[in-house]
Chain A
Amino acid sequence: MTDSPNQNEVIFEAKNLQISAIRDDGTELPIVKGVDFKVRRGEVIALIGESGSGKTTISLSALGYCKPGLKFAGGEALLLGKDVSKMSTDELRPSRGINVAYLAQSAAATFNPSIKINEQVTESPVLHGTKTQAEADEKALKLYHALELPDPENIGDRFPHQVSGGQLQRLMAAMALCGEPDLLVLDEPTTALDVTTQIEVLKAFKQVIKEEGAAAIYVTHDLAVVAQIADHIVVLYNGEVKEAGPTDIIINRPQHPYTKRLMNAIKPLPEAGQGESSSDEYLRKDPALEAKDVDAGYGGLDADGTPKFPVLRDINVAIERGKTVGIIGESGCGKSTLARVLAGLLPAASGEVLLHGKTLPPALANRTRDQLQKVQFVYQMADTALNPRQKITDILGRPVEFYLGLKGADKRQRVEELLDMVELPRQFADRYPHELSGGQKQRVNLARALAAEPEVVLCDEVTSALDTIVGANVIELLKRLRRETGVSFVFISHDLSTVSNFADEIVVLYAGRVAEQGSTDKVLSPPYHPYTRLLVSSVPETRIGWLEEAAQTREAKAGVAGAVKLTKKGCPFFERCPLAIPGTCETIDPPQRLDGAGHIIECHREVSELGG
């Protein structure tokens, strides 16, 4: 860092920057088509855009680096006045890690699995001779403290696989900051994290960037995150800048139609009164599909009838005819497992699944064709869910033929109707899946489930793999289909905003147990289960200053996101719960507290204690 921190000093500037991909046949394909922006000291610039817009490629140019297969095709990338795009690796080496440092999307992949964390964190400044090993160790320790890592004295002695994902992500920040760089390049550093962890990591990043007096380029597709951390925003589309300006203007007064599109695709905040039908008296009169006292897990059953790797415990969920149930919880809490049990893909270890009040055989093989037809499953990744060697017409035609017995022209007509239903052109029938874009494939995936004319459709994270706008379109489609078909949906997501503006009822899962369930309105308004409260307060708002407020109001203890642990008894949320009653909560299964019709909170605290 320079001695006189000139606030206006330009740290990095891209001038008409162009980057091309080199194809197999030697021709060049422009990826970045003339991009200009500047980063000044103390400033955070966000590059936003959807996948394929060239965000990562542009951000790496600040290090003078192109991924294999890409090359600089023109313009300048000026780091502290020097054009790094025209320098050799040897010329670049002294500035990498010292003038500019990089934080990648997946910390798990960017740490060398065979080297202890501390050596990797301190490597750069020590090798460059800007710090002695002792100085670097001291700096690292300070950073571990600043990043609120557990056991900061010893964490550096561990190997990367010995710490959790969220911790590794913060350790990577320490690795980048250890050399005290002038510029940090952060590539989607929180995308892989759960909301409750993301908020901690964001807070730590923001704090540290400020304290170190560095500048940063922050790459993300999440506008809510951008609003918290960036001073300026550069909106990218297909390798070009569409709009750029101060965060306030881009967020609140976007001008370019693409930016407006992006802003429109932001999901409204989870709040009461958003579900399509928000009746207060939500009664379970006529459930189409129901799980009763279900336990489930993987790895086969032990002698006592419990699974080797238990995942779900005592699950009671009902899906009302024609309604939508959202299932929410953080990664690994058992959402997918629950959906798989309901679909029969994973037989429950104990308990039962009922269709119209009649018990379903646990294993698929024993269910009748009729029973199979009634419950359909939609996979998260359309890429693997559609057979790459079948045409769309075969993919959709098979369930039509199999369940409804339609053949020949009737079948073809039904396939075309299904394509209409999911708003795809009819001529797509003769294409193969790889000839479709991600969003289109997801629509085919949905259409296949609908082709069976089911009563319940189970959707597992159907929008998570899609870009913001594409995902928003799929949600719109789902809403329309629900209105038009009267099918019940189970909608699984880790994203509370997505669930809340689509579901009639919400089930909150934590570590394989239902923490709270009830109508969307009830669940999203007090009284809350302590975990629901944490979730609701963690959903980032696209509002400048939200992060600081949230960080202040949140209970400190709840923030330390450990790995979700399954427990054999008691409340699994005990370790993170600010209201926990030691001696009771971790030993006795929490009772079901009823708060009006159908709203159940599983907690040792009284409903009155959970309000407010």
Chain B
Amino acid sequence: MTSLILKRLGIGLITVLAVSVIIFFGTKILPGDAAQIRMGQQATAENVAALREKLGLDKSYVMQYLTWLGNFVRGDLGISLSSDVPIVNLISDRYQNTLYVSVLTAVIGVPISLMLGIMAAMFPGSLYDRVLTFISVTLVAAPEFFTATLMVLLFVFALGIGTAVVVGSTEGKGVFELISHFALPITTLSFVIASQLIRMSRAAVLNVMSSPYIEMAILKGVPRRRIIFRHALLNAIGPIVNVVALNLAYLVTGVIVVEIYFGYSGLATLIVQGVQTRDFVLVQCLGMIFCLTYVVLMLIADIAAYASNPRLRHPK
């Protein structure tokens, strides 16, 4: 078990390195270089060359990569090409919005979806199950901005609550104020991950519920509640944690669309700006941050899967 987890951690580390290579060299295909872009069109050749040297751009790509990676690990993220500001500052100005929305979505959306999904698995084929399944099959395939539009229709147009844009500062707001501040993005994202979570948690529990040992428990006359909470959930917990981690990883994508849709600034808007202004130093950094989050969540998903296997938990 420990060795399996260590192995998985090792693979995770290799993945992170591979990711950094892809991101670094991916942005290197770009014609033109950082020095030229930062100095602008009017800069003299000497000035550009001087800056190139200062930024280490005259070194080989491999050296540049190693320096960049080393700096990244130490928290030195470099200077934005388009705005000439240290990227750390750009990020620290905006990361809260992204963090608030994703954490609040996770805290509110995940438990509710899991409950709904597990309940659907407890009464398979019931009206409740069929309606829920239909809704999640529908929402799972719909784009985030469709769900967002539905939310705006519901809250802003039908109920007359708030506006279709998130405006104002979050300074000094408590949890509940934050929730109402970000009500639209949070509900949108919750719906998006809920559709996945409901389907997958329902499937995970149903899978366990159809195993022979559950049939045996029924034939032993074990009451329904005990079958679910002692016999089934114990074996379904691993798959469910796995599902949750996978879906949180998915939030990374959802957050980007939602920020643009509701027009508040966060890390996602920042990276989109970076792409539009071809500020690849910024894109590299933010890309790494998003990918790292994603890789860590995938790691948790896999470790949850190992941990759920009793053969690994209690070796012979």
Contacts and interface: CB of A to CB of B under 8 A. Distances in A.
A124 interface: yes
Contacts of A162: 314, 316
Contacts of A63: 219
B61 interface: no
Interface in A79-136: 89, 92-98, 101-102, 104, 106, 109-115, 123-124, 127-128
Given A124-B221, A127-B222, A161 B311 contact: yes
A123 B231 CA distance: 11
A159 B310 contact: yes
Residue picked from B211, B212, B231, most chain A C-beta under 10 Å: B212
A109 B211 contact: yes
Contacts of B234: 112, 114-115
A56 to B, nearest CB: 12
Contacts of A102: 216, 219-220
A295 to B, nearest CB: 26
A65 interface: yes
Interface residues of B, number: 23
Contacts of A65: 218-219
Contact of A92 (B210, B215, B221, B235): B221
A98 B316 CA distance: 32
Interface in B215-234: 215-224, 226, 230-231, 234
Nearest to B238: A114
A123 B213 CA distance: 13
Interface residues of A, number: 31
A109 B212 contact: yes
B310 A110 contact: no
Contacts of B310: 113-114, 159, 161
A110 B235 contact: no
Contacts of B316: 161-162
Contacts of B231: 112, 115
A94 B222 CA distance: 9
Contact of A110 (B210, B213, B222): B213
Nearest to B214: A112
Interface string B192-226: 00000000000000000011110111111111101
Given A112-B231, A115-B230, A115-B231, A159 B314 contact: yes
A104 B218 CA distance: 13
Residue picked from A60, A94, A111, A113, most chain B C-beta under 10 Å: A113
A96 B219 contact: yes
Given A110-B212, A112-B235, A114-B235, A123 B314 contact: no
B315 to A, nearest CB: 8
A414 to B, nearest CB: 46
Nearest to A67: B215
Contacts of B226: 127
A128 B212 CA distance: 21
A175 B235 CA distance: 20
A112 B221 contact: no
Nearest to B231: A112
B314 A96 contact: no
A127 to B, nearest CB: 6
Interface in B123-146: none
Interface in B261-316: 310-311, 314, 316
A101 B220 contact: yes
A109 B212 CA distance: 6
B223 A127 contact: yes
Interface string A138-154: 00000000000000000
Nearest to A119: B230
Interface in A43-72: 60, 63, 65, 68
A101 B219 CA distance: 7
Interface string B48-76: 00000000000000000000000000000
Contacts of B212: 104, 106, 109-110
B223 A112 contact: no
Given A161-B311, A161-B316, A162-B316, A93 B213 contact: no
B213 A95 contact: no
A274 to B, nearest CB: 39
A459 to B, nearest CB: 32
B309 to A, nearest CB: 8
Nearest to A96: B221
A60 B215 CA distance: 11
Contacts of A89: 218, 224
Nearest to B232: A112
A110 B221 contact: no
A127 B227 CA distance: 12
Nearest to A124: B220
A93 B216 CA distance: 12
Contact of A123 (B211, B222, B235, B311): B222
B235 A124 contact: no
A159 B310 CA distance: 8
Contacts of B222: 97, 123-124, 127
Nearest to A127: B222
Nearest to A92: B221
A197 B68 CA distance: 66
Contacts of B215: 110
Contacts of B223: 93, 127
Contact of B220 (A97, A114, A161): A97
B207 to A, nearest CB: 14
A470 B1 CA distance: 45
Residue picked from B213, B230, B234, B316, most chain A C-beta under 10 Å: B213
Nearest to A112: B213
B39 to A, nearest CB: 59
B69 to A, nearest CB: 36
Contact of A113 (B219, B230, B235): B235
A101 B226 CA distance: 18
B302 to A, nearest CB: 19
Contacts of A111: 213, 216
Nearest to B230: A115
A175 B224 CA distance: 19
Contacts of B218: 65, 89, 96
A96 B220 contact: yes
A109 B224 CA distance: 20
A93 B221 contact: yes
B91 to A, nearest CB: 43
A372 B226 CA distance: 58
A109 B213 CA distance: 6
A60 B216 CA distance: 11
Contacts of B235: 112-114
A63 B314 CA distance: 33
Interface of A: 60, 63, 65, 68, 89, 92-98, 101-102, 104, 106, 109-115, 123-124, 127-128, 159, 161-162, 175
10 contacts: A63-B219, A97-B220, A101-B219, A111-B213, A113-B235, A114-B235, A114-B310, A124-B221, A161-B314, A161-B316
Kindly list the 8 A-B residue pairs having the minimum CB-CB distance in the complex, ordered from nearest. Answer: A96-B221, A109-B212, A97-B221, A97-B220, A112-B213, A110-B216, A124-B220, A113-B310
Given A96-B219, A127-B222, 9 more contacts: A68-B210, A97-B220, A102-B220, A110-B213, A112-B216, A115-B230, A159-B310, A161-B310, A175-B220
